[in-house]
Amino acid sequence: DTDTPTTTTTLKPTTPGQITFGRVPKPENYSERIIAPGANTAWDNLGARKPRGMVLHRMLGTLAGTDSYFRGAARNSACTDFGIGQGKVYRWTRPGANVAPWASGPANGIDGDGAAFWQQYKSDPAGVGIFNRDCESIEIEGLTYESPVPDADYQRLVELVAWRADLWLAIPWNRWPLNNDGVHCLLGHSEITDDKPCPGSVVYGLGGPLIEDVRAVLRQYQTA
């Protein structure tokens, strides 16, 4: 992921016109607060990250608190790619780096859409490491799993998922939420691990509207 749009594709016969990638804008209030690998060691080098999916998480805290947490108390135990809160988006991992943050594991009790994802990619030499390496992780602010997601944070989530689905995953609007291998690629953390209910019922409840809203953004910019 170099965040450089390079692809223009004509899809036939499902798309009558041309799909152009790279025009979906970054989210509003987006900041790169990159944590240097030496400042947080909660990651593995599993080789180049392969664009395959995204995993949603709940912070059980605030964006500012999570930012400090990854740089302090959790610097040897946890990290994710993106965080959303207070109408802002933070990015913590460097684009293009061979960094698989310890975000979406441990992979045990894989179920739901995670099961089909694992079935598709389980032959990869990275094994269950694919969930951290090949799925960008998104933390959503909330003090509990039942905390409502404010409108501004939901809007940032739509914008972020659409941007990554377009630029990183290169998914046409009419294929989303399937990736280009035909696998549902927007997962929740608990579909990968039995250890916690993350991201919780509130975020899972956003699933249908989120998918539709992201599709609308993709269509708007990919077919403009």
Query: Using N-to-C axis directions, what is the helix angle for 151-167 and 207-222, rounded to 10°?
Result: 50
Distance CA 98, CA 37 (A): 10
Residues of the chain with pLDDT below 70 are: 1-17
Span 149-175, pLDDT tens digits: 999 999 999 999 999 999 999 999 999
Q: Which pTM does this prediction carry?
A: 0.93
DSSP 37: T
pLDDT of residue 3: 59
List the domains of the chain with CATH numbers. Answer: 25-218 (3.40.80.10)
The three-class DSSP label of residue 151 is helix
